[in-house]
Amino acid sequence: MHVRPRLHEVGALDPELRNSPIAQEQDEDADTVSQQVPGNPVCYFNGRAFEHGRYVSSGGQVLRCRYGVWIDAGAADPDNP
């Protein structure tokens, strides 16, 4: 049985605070967005830094930090991974 790790809930995006861009994994713009922050070791969400590879939950959405860009990793519903 696959057990999903507990995710840090970051809340809703506050546009007044520092935030890294969010892209879809399959989105053609994901590479373009990544070029805007090349090799950044952290992603920001509401002013808080999260290291590359870290997963967070924002409402019902799971985001994964990929070198300065949040990638949408699916739903945060533990009953429907």
Q: What is the pLDDT of residue 26?
A: 62
Q: Among all chains, which residue has been given the structure tokens 């809340």?
A: 11
| Distance (Å, whole) CA 35 – CA 28 | 12
Q: What is the pLDDT of residue 74?
A: 85
pLDDT digit string, tens, across residues 47-58: 999 999 999 999
Q: Burial code of 12-42, b = ≥16 C-beta within 10 A, e = fewer?
A: ebeeeeebbbbbeeeeeebeebbeeeeebee
Burial of residue 9 (number of CB atoms within 10 Å: 0-12, 13-18, 19+)? exposed
Q: What is the pLDDT of residue 2?
A: 47
Handedness of CA 27, 33, 37, 39 (dihedral sign): positive
